[in-house]
A = this chain, B = another copy of it.
Amino acid sequence: ILQALDVFGTAVFAFSGALKAGKKGMDIIGMMILASITAVGGGTLRDVLMMVFWMRTPLYIEISCITAVLTYYFWPKISQRFETSNFICTFDALGLAAFCVVGVQQAVERGLALTLCVVSGLMTATFGGIIRDVICGEQPRIM
């Protein structure tokens, strides 16, 4: 039954992608590509993320959600007390420092070359803030 649901979901999503492509006036190649991406996109993200650190323990997602809930309930106080933009900047700086150390350390433990340790530290520290800003439709602060 699960296999059937999977095939059914794939066909249905592929169809929704192909319809969208048709509406946009794409040709048959564009239609095949958009149908494929729509159909396998969700499962691809799931499979890729199944391999990362926060899938081995719910700890990280839980910390994030609790922080969000607390921020939500104390929002009136928080937004009143602090000029939000500078405030985000301060917390970003703290996070950057902490995650840069974590990222380099992880690469060192795997015995990577020096260049790659630097790349690992850089990515771990900056990427979270970059996608946050992209999702909010802003130029990433870091660039």
Contacts and interface: CB of A to CB of B under 8 A. Distances in A.
Could you say which interface size class chain A belongs to? Answer: 35 or more
Copies in the complex: 3
A133 B135 CA distance: 14
Given A36-B61, A63-B7, A91 B16 contact: yes
Nearest to A17: B132
Contact of A38 (B16, B40, B94, B128): B128
Given A39-B63, A88-B16, A120 B22 contact: no
Nearest to A116: B58
A131 B37 contact: yes
Contact of A132 (B38, B78, B113): B38
A83 B62 CA distance: 42
Contacts of A9: 94-95, 98-99, 102
A106 B46 CA distance: 9
